[in-house]
Amino acid sequence: MAFARSIREEDEVSATYETASVLYPRLEQLWEAWKWRLARGPEEDAVKVTGTNPQAYLIKTWDFSEHGMPMSITILYTFDENEVQILSVKFSAPLTVVQAAA
């Protein structure tokens, strides 16, 4: 099994998650899966945010809206050999089509 770093969330991240979880009942499964993945490979598929110290990374998930989840999750984080610190998260709502009045 791969080495797993501990995960630490900023208070704002926890609050954003709690708000989104009301809208998406299965969000906990997806969120825990992403934290599991970040704990084991935070550099994989991530984009380095230039000009940050410590080095920050950004990762965006694919579209989960067909499964009653957010369209995507964007996560900003830093990490070292022991810990991943999630600094910010955005849960993007699925797009809604609105018809213009005739």
Here the CATH number for the domain that contains residue 34 is: 3.30.2310
The CA distance from 35 to 22, in Å, is 19
In a domain, 97, yes or no: no
AA identity, residue 32: E
The CA distance from 22 to 17, in Å, is 9
In a domain, 98, yes or no: no
In a domain, 62, yes or no: yes
43-90, pLDDT tens digit by residue? Answer: 999 999 999 999 999 999 887 777 777 778 999 999 999 999 999 999
Is 101's pLDDT higher than 70?
A: no
Say what the pLDDT of residue 26 is: 85
Say what the pLDDT of residue 66 is: 76
Supply the range of the domain harboring residue 25.
6-92
AA identity, residue 37: R
